Amino acid sequence: MSEKAWKISKPSLEALASRLLALAAVIAPARTTAGEVDYSEITEPGQIAWDYSTSLTSLKRFFFPQVEPLFEFSRKERGVSLKPAFDRRLRVFLGVRPCDVTAVNFMDKVFSRDYDDPYYSARRQNSLLIALACNQPGENCFCVCGEGGPFLKSGYDLQLTALGEGYLVEAGSAKGAALVEDNSNLFSPADEKDLEEKRRLAKQAENSFGEPKSYFAAALRKISFGKTDDALWEKMGEVCLGCGGCAYICPTCNCFTVFDHADSTGGVRRRHWDSCSFACFTREASGHNPRKEQCQRLKSRFFHKLAYQFVLRNGRHGCVGCGRCVSVCLGEDPMPEVTLRIRRGEWAS
């Protein structure tokens, strides 16, 4: 949906950021103290690192934090009192990558499918996503295989594309269009030439990935129909160190566990990220563990990421191709390598 398109100059974009800062929390790519780029809440537009390839972490934690209080509870004379902790802060995500926006759209489905998760929804409903299309993929990126980018077709409120001195701005939602209208003095209309240039850049970006890094079609088919060899999983299990990093860094992994931090008078219930790589993730109270071995856990993880039954349920497979698991994997089982091995049916490195 690109019927609504404008242009904005760099200074005007900074001015927009300033206006947004007065209205909401602004989350944008920014340098850490060590100079690496991560999405963080900024306090002034100058902190935005516009020139980056991938942020250290995705947007997941802003909607589904690594640890979050769900509610406080206390013992009353009769019964228990509960005080839920919803986060309804207004937030604008500015300059975020398409793969991460795609992942947010995926998570929207997960957290609302059978049961609307009020914690997720409270955050999501009060957010605005302004994507920045990727003109140049990073070293580990494979969004083109994961259908997560490098340019978005939908799922954003606004999408920016760097065009020479400024940006093309496309609205993907009424909320996005309204933001442009409310700040119309900062925008100028875009013409067909600008849109043509954007299409050319998108094509160029797609072509710049070179050799395919992940082979989803074949992997999806094989894993969905049980056509993967257990010996291969055993081999891959041997080089999985069970750190859980893949699940934690993955923008679409959404498993969590719940702990009560309490004494006899009351306490707080928190949910923490959890990972299917961990030995006790599936351990039952009886002591039985259906996935006792690392290789079984690894297989289950990739089944959940790629099998058709989950594709049908979520509208897509569970990898947007951000490439973060490639750098974070403590062992040797990141998504692109695993899908390649599944496709070939043998160990490949």
Per CB under 8 A, 293 contacts another protein: no
* Residue number, 177 or 262, with CB nearest to another protein: 262
Which is nearer to another protein, 15 or 56 (by Cβ)?
56
What is the spatial distance between Cα 174 and Cα 190, in angstroms, rounded to a whole number?
A: 18
286 binds another protein (CB under 8 A): no
Per CB under 8 A, the list member of 164, 185, 193, 280 interacting with another protein is 280
Contact call for residue 105 and another protein (CB under 8 A)? no
Which region, judged by CB under 8 A, interacts with another protein, from 12-20, 162-170, 184-192, 237-245?
Answer: 237-245
Site for another protein in 26-85 (CB under 8 A): 32-36, 38, 40, 56-57, 61, 65-68
| Exposure class string for 154-191: b at 16+ Cβ within 10 A, else e | ebbbbbbbbbeebbbbbbbbeebbebbeeeeebbeebe
Is 21 near another protein (CB under 8 A)?
A: no
Pick 106 or 278: Cβ nearer another protein:
278
**Which stretches of the chain are assigned E, i.e. beta strand?**
5-9, 25-31, 37-42, 67-75, 80-84, 91-96, 127-132, 158-163, 166-171, 187-189, 256-262, 266-273
Bridge partners, residue 334, by sequence: none
User: Which of 93, 87, 149, 147 lies closest to 121 in space, CA to CA?
Assistant: 87
Using rule CB under 8 A, residue 244 touches another protein:
yes
Q: Which is nearer to another protein, 65 or 303 (CB)?
A: 65
3-state secondary structure of 52: coil
* Residues found near another protein in the complex (CB under 8 A): 32-36, 38, 40, 56-57, 61, 65-68, 238-239, 241-245, 248-249, 257, 259, 261-263, 270, 272, 274, 278-280, 283, 287, 327-332, 349
